[in-house]
Structure 1
Amino acid sequence: MSALPHDRSEQALGDILSKQNDLAVLPQVVFKIMEMTGAESSSVTDLERAIAIDPGFSARILSQANSAHFALPKKVTSIHEAIMFVGFKSIRQLAATIGVFDMFLGKNDAESIRRRAWWRQSIDTGVAAQAIAKRINGIDSDTVYTAGLLHLIGKTVLDRYSPGDYMKVEKLLEAGAGDVQAEQAVFWLDHVMVGFAVAQRWGFPKELILSLDYCNPPQETEPCRQNRALLAVGHSIALIVRDGIHIDDAPTVLPRWAMDILGFSEEQYLPIINEGRGAIMEAARLHI
């Protein structure tokens, strides 16, 4: 796995994780939901009980289930109804969204602006990647969406570890460096490595964890190649939307290795971009 740390990076990763005890702040109910929604033996009643343990979390699940995104035929008033109407996979998505969101909150204006931008980009990536995933047989588009939500979690962990140092990263970005290059220059590791380690610590499903390395083209023998490619394409489309890149220039932003893995020809680049961009715009309209 190319996202795994090595040498000095491993030492830096251990230092960062050891000094962030609040990484365990992800609600225990999220761990349980991720586990249960991945198990065939779990029932609606089992999942309902797991969620009901945390009243605050239950309220947020109900609020999200009643949002315009799901357009339910009636307002749900119980966790049982929410599960029945939106399904296990959507409850898993909601749990990940609610659980991870708090990690993107800053203590001051500068941190908040930076992290809110990352959160918006994470949502846009997940939405675009999920839309494109539905074109491909055998892909769990919900896992791809959740991976999109998580793929920048390493950035906020690095920022929480040392906000001043992440400002140094931003200076390098302004000078033309790429994200990974700039982070490695300052921290000796990058957000992909950190995100991979954090997802492992949180006990997320293996398929989800292995999907997070969107920066490095996978070898043919590596698992989750299509998920990683979808995440890379979704991330690129999110950048196209964020930066207002003209449609004529947009295809050059897409990573060719990812498009090749997904079996898309150059003639499909623009339709893919438009599909992902449309999904992002619709999500924004629904206030997702």
Structure 2
Amino acid sequence: MGLFMKQGIDLRHIDPRLRTMDRSLPGVSKPQNVADVVVKKRLGEQIISRVETLPALPTIVTQLMQLIDDDRSSVKNLETYLRQDQALTARLLKIVNSSFFGLRNKISSIPQAIVIIGYNSLKNLVLAASTSKLFQGSCPAYGYKENGLWQHSFMSAEWAKKIGLKLGFDIQSAEEMFVAGLLHDVGKLILANYVNTDCKEMIKTIVESQGNIIVAEETTFGLDHARIGSKVAQKWNFSKKLAAIIEFHHRPKTASLYAKETALIHLVNYLLSDGHYGMYENFPLKNDLCIDSVGMLGVTDEMIADFRTQISESAAKWDESVCLG
């Protein structure tokens, strides 16, 4: 089976509990014997070793990101580099011109894009354009429809940046939150490769875990997508900060470093997942918001309600051009 699953899935034919499960119950895992533990440990080691075989980000992408970070670089330098990869440039402009951003006038060149959206934002969109193909297709083991994981990841990136700015993050930190939001679920791409084509066993385990995706992953694989995602970030030479945020975004209370940033990604992931954006409506996902961690951000119930409304409005603007199909 390929890394990025293309098939769809009809959850109604898998288990009637998908429609009736009690979402208020805590996640529980199945009893395990020694043999199960050994098998899962070996599987977990195999999955981690697979991360080491992942291809690096394209050289053109890493060079572009370094160039944008260089104070001595110019728009002309950036445009020269982008000319080396016309497909990347086309995807980049397609994202910028999508209805999701709602720009009044069409952007037709890189210099124009820099003027309109700014240098740092362009850097993040270069990363988004270069990784978008990884997230395309469906990922039914996690409840995502065609291009649904890309929608979740890209919207998480945008809202991590927007909410970060609203909460007082400086512009550089907010741009970092864009990257964290974009890549926080990259580990799901790896784990999905180890799920049977029909996904029945995985979804059954999610149901038995009362919708707790982390418990279901640990029951199935012996590890979870957050840990694998952190390994991917390290493989791609992102910062230790980003790797830590990804690793603890489902357990923000246990984050010993970058607690505020981790809490922000936790909040954004909760809001996007709870809205089932890009997902099958009846997928048995249970979302828990860590009140203590979110409280550290100074977020009130009223603010969360407002974020929900704004995210819903932005989701209505989502179109396939952002998916770059």
Query: TM-score if structure 2 supplies the norm length?
Result: 0.70
Report the equivalent of 1:151: 184
Cα distance in 2 for partners of 1:218, 1:30 equals 34
CA shift for structure 1 position 202:
1.3
Helix, strand or coil at the partner of 2:316: helix
Distance 1:109 1:260 in 2: 33
- Residue 263 of structure 2 corresponds to 229
Identify the structure with the greater helix proportion.
1
Q: 1:137: which partner in 2?
A: 168
Tell me the CA shift for residue 283 of structure 1. Answer: 4.3
| Unaligned 5+ runs, structure 2 | 1-40, 280-286
| Paired residues of 1:104 and 1:119 also in contact (CA < 8 A) | yes
Paired with 2:97 and 2:224, the residues of 1 have a C-alpha distance of 37
Matched, 1:37 2:68: yes
Say what the alpha-carbon RMSD is for the aligned residues.
Answer: 3.3
Shift of residue 86, structure 1, vs aligned partner? 1.8
8 A contact 2:159–2:268 mirrored in 1: yes
Q: Which residue number in structure 1 is paired with residue 292 of structure 2?
A: 257
Shift of 1:97: 2.0
Greater relative contact order: 1 or 2 (C-alpha under 8 angstroms, separation 6 or more)? 2
Partners of 1:111 and 1:8 lie apart in 2 by 23
Distance 1:111 1:69 in 2: 24
Aligned pairs for 1:1-288 (under 5 A) are 11-18=45-52, 21=53, 23-24=54-55, 26-72=57-103, 74-106=105-137, 113=144, 116-139=147-170, 140-164=173-197, 167-175=200-208, 176-212=210-246, 213-218=248-253, 222-242=256-276, 253-264=288-299, 268-287=300-319, 288=322
Deviations along 1:46-83, whole A, 9 cap, x unmatched? 32222221111111112222333444454332223222
CA contact (8 A) 1:144 1:211 kept: no
Other-structure match for 1:248:
none
Q: Is the 8 A contact 1:31 1:204 kept in 2?
A: no
Counterpart-to-counterpart distance in 1, 2:63 and 2:146? 26
Please tell me the residue identity of whatever aligns with 1:238: L
Please tell me whether the aligned partners of residues 211 and 231 of structure 1 are also in contact (alpha carbons under 8 angstroms).
yes
Larger radius of gyration: 2
Q: What secondary structure, in the 3-state scheme, does the structure 2 residue paired with 1:134 have?
A: helix
* Shift of residue 192, structure 1, vs aligned partner: 0.5
* Deviation, structure 1 residue 160: 2.7
1:193 deviates by 0.9
